[in-house]
């Protein structure tokens, strides 16, 4: 991986996860618990994010081989997924959870806070289809031990950022407010959409090399 690929991957991953938006989501889900429980939930959620990213980075390629999916196929599909996700962020996408998921989360009692920290906060609230696709594509495209080490390091740093965001969820939500949240989400959406077009183009070029000439 060259420096440009590293920066692009890190930027895209952070943009999709959107620590600011995820911190507000965490605050809304964990607000009913005590401060001590909220801190433990932040640890649990960040650890779950780390595990999911690591599994995608190290096992995603083997799953593709078993299913017979090529890199261009995944790039094209991933580009479409990211494009839809980015457009939602730029336009009307205000939350990562459906109404049914929000209602389900609100009904969970305090004794189940560990499960709540993983589902729906960690997945699909924080790590969704776009994140999984991005990590799997990167790990499939760059397969050398050195590249996988870089991908692992970026995933670990990203999980650390999510932990900081979860632990700081209260102040962040209060300071930004609804208008600030909308601005951050839409800027992140523009970055994700731009990345999606590049990914989709590379996928189509791999599937239909005649078009790339």
User: pLDDT of 73-130, one tens digit each?
Assistant: 877 887 887 788 778 778 854 545 455 545 554 454 555 678 888 877 898 778 877 8
Q: What is the pLDDT of residue 83?
A: 84
Flag whether the pTM goes above 0.95: no
Q: What is the mean pLDDT of residues 187-212?
A: 81
DSSP the chain: --HHHHHHHHHHHHHHH-HHHHHHHHHHHHTTS-HHHHHHHHHHHHHHHHHHHHHHHHHHHHHHHHHT--HHHHHHHHHHHHHHHHHHHHTT---SS-HHHHHHHHT--GGGHHHHIIIIIIIIIIS-HHHHHHHHHHHHH--SHHHHHHHHHHHHHHHHHHHHHHHTHHHHHHHHHHHHHHHHHHHHHHHHHHHHHHHHHHHHHHH-GGGG-
The pLDDT of residue 71 is above 90: no
Flag whether pLDDT at 19 surpasses 80: yes
- Work out the mean pLDDT of the chain and round it to a whole number: 82
The pLDDT confidence band at residue 191, using thresholds 50, 70 and 90, is: confident
Q: Is the pLDDT of residue 56 over 70?
A: yes
Q: Which residue has the higher pLDDT, 94 or 192?
A: 192
Mean of pLDDT values over 18-44: 83
């Amino acid at each position: 991986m060259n420096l440009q690929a590293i920066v692009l991957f890190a930027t895209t991953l952070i943009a999709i996860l959107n620590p600011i938006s995820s911190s507000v989501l965490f605050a809304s889900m964990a607000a009913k618990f005590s401060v001590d429980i909220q801190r433990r939930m932040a640890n649990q959620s960040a650890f779950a994010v780390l595990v999911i990213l690591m599994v995608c980075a190290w096992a995603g390629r083997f799953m593709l081989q078993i299913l017979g999916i090529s890199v261009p196929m995944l790039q094209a599909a991933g580009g479409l997924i990211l494009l839809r996700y980015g457009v939602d962020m730029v336009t009307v996408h205000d939350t990562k959870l459906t109404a049914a998921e929000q209602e389900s989360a609100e009904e969970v009692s305090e004794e189940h806070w560990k499960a709540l920290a993983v589902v729906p906060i960690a997945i699909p609230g924080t790590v969704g289809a776009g994140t999984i696709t991005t990590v799997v594509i990167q790990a499939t495209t760059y397969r050398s031990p050195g590249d996988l080490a870089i991908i692992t390091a970026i995933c670990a740093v990203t999980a650390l950022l999510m932990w900081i965001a979860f632990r700081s969820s209260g102040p962040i939500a209060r300071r930004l407010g609804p208008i600030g949240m909308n601005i951050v989400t839409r800027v992140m959406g523009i970055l994700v959409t731009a990345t999606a077009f590049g990914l989709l183009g590379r996928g189509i070029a791999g599937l239909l090399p005649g078009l790339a000439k």
